[in-house]
Amino acid sequence: MKLFLILLLIAAMIATVVALVRGIITFLRVTEADLKGGNGPSASALKSNKMMQQRILFQGIAIAIVAVLLLMASSS
């Protein structure tokens, strides 16, 4: 069980980094016209926002796994 949780933790950490990098790349591709446009947020801005939300989700999952591992370590 502990090995499974450690593998899940590693997967969550990798997913966090991937979502972070994808969000930063998308953010950097936003043009000046997108920023000044009055038609609401552009598609790239929405994609960047979605990537950052995924990053937060994966971070939360990683923190929950660490908490479970710490609880398992303290009870044994």
Same domain, 32 and 61: no
Same domain, 34 and 2: yes
What is the pLDDT, as a whole number, of residue 51?
87
Cα(63)–Cα(48) distance, rounded to whole angstroms?
A: 23
Same domain, 45 and 66: yes
* pLDDT 10s digits, 15-64: 999 999 988 888 887 766 666 666 767 777 788 888 889 999 999 999 99
Same domain, 35 and 56: no
What is the pLDDT, as a whole number, of residue 37?
66
Tell me which residue has tokens 């969000």: 23
Same domain, 45 and 30: no
- Reduced to 3 states (helix: H, G, I; strand: E, B; else coil), residue 64 is helix
Same domain, 35 and 46: no
What is the extent of the structural domain holding 32?
A: 1-39
Q: If you write DSSP's letter for every residue of 4-44 in order, what string do you get?
A: HHHHHHHHHHHHHHHHHHHHHHHHHT--HHHHH-SSS--HH
Q: Name the domain count of the chain.
A: 2
Same domain, 2 and 34: yes
Which pTM was predicted?
A: 0.80
